[in-house]
Amino acid sequence: MPSIKIIDLFCGIGGLSHGFVREGFDVVAGFDIDETCRFPYEANNDAFFFREDIREITQQTINQLFGDADIRVLVGCAPCQPFSTYAFKSPDKEKEANNAKWSLLGEFGRLIEQVKPEIVSMENVPGLAKFDKSHIFRDFLTTLEKNEYFVDYKEIYCPDYGIPQKRKRLVLLASRLSPIKIMDKTHAPQNYKTVKDAISDLEPLESGGVCANDPIHRAAKLSDKNLIRIRQSKQGGTWRDWSEELVLDCHRKESGKTYASVYGRMEWDKPAPTMTTFCTGIGNGRFGHPEQDRAISLREAAMIQTFPRQYKFLKDGKTLNMSQLSTHIGNAVPVELGQVVAKSIKFHIKSWQKTNS
């Protein structure tokens, strides 16, 4: 069996890395610019965390970490906001796709070109390929092709792979060994994982409550008015279910009438909406608990993101920063999406070995 090592760029708190860990891979390091990701990354992945800007990472550093591995796998997810669906509703936001932030994907390409790892994976928002007016994604593909990689990429709808949220992601795999393919779907609408599957066994909470045995199972405190709003909200409903005096001014405007999901409740029998950095607040999407009068807790958000219950987010004795942890969880690659990538790579390596044995 060849020795295989994984390095994760833009690793965050380790959702993608942990998917590889759960599939038996040796993850040696993660890089991220946010120091607050260090504890959860290292505590759960038995790997080193490097607080470093990708623009400062050298070929020598990556080669040293890979060592003498037979198969080197470089993975990552560059920050995606400029290519989100939201961003392209605004001409000003679209211009951000040209800014320095998007040199980050080019820097990923630079490291690929210098190190030439046997396998590469890149995960991002679908808009990166759909709205590529700046040729950023095309340039990344050109770098891969120029360096003799076989490439496969597609938009993945997470429920098709057993992940209980309606997240859509662009997933790319590339290999210098032989043609590579993203694994086929594992689920269909009739057996999608639902909100109920993900979080129904958790202890009930009130607004502002915290579970005595699990400090991560904590819900934000709602204002008196938002508490009335959530009590009048139905599963899958909208603000139109409220009494007239509760309707916000922004919803009365023509431009606000389409934002029906904010302050809404999730539905037990459907996948959750996409988790975001604001997923523990009801004013930022359909993040209300299906039955309890509150927004979802940090633990519920993490479980919808398919982090296992034993995943350590917080050092013992450290004060929990709810906003920070909500951001970390919302930004993460769902662990089970990481497993989809890892399984695809595992199958690819076994097929290549078989062909070359």
Domains of the chain in sequence order: 4-187+334-356 (3.40.50.150), 195-331 (3.90.120.10)
Nearest to 126 by CA among 164, 92, 158, 160: 158
Annotated catalytic residue within 11, 37, 77, 80: 80
What are 330's two structure tokens?
């919302």
pLDDT of residue 254: 53
Query: What is the residue whose two structure tokens read 């009438």?
Result: 257
154 vs 167: CA distance, rounded Å: 14
Give the least confident one: 233-237, 272-276, 338-342: 233-237
**Residue 85: pLDDT band by 50, 70, 90 thresholds?**
very low
pLDDT of residue 83: 42
Higher-confidence residue of 339 and 262: namely 339
β-strands 150-157, 168-175 pairing: antiparallel
pLDDT of residue 250: 63
- Span 28-44, pLDDT tens digits: 999 999 999 999 999 99
pLDDT of residue 84: 46
What are 129's two structure tokens?
């390929």
- Span 36-76, pLDDT tens digits: 999 999 999 999 999 999 999 999 999 999 999 999 999 99
What is the percent of the chain with per-residue pLDDT over 70, rounded to a whole number? 88
- Span 90-127, pLDDT tens digits: 445 445 544 545 578 999 999 999 999 999 999 998 88
Catalytic status, residue 80: yes
Give the least confident one: 81-85, 154-158, 272-276: 81-85
pLDDT of residue 130: 75
Q: At what angle do helices 103-115 and 136-146 cross, to 10 degrees?
A: 0
- Span 162-209, pLDDT tens digits: 999 999 999 999 999 999 999 999 999 999 999 999 999 999 999 999
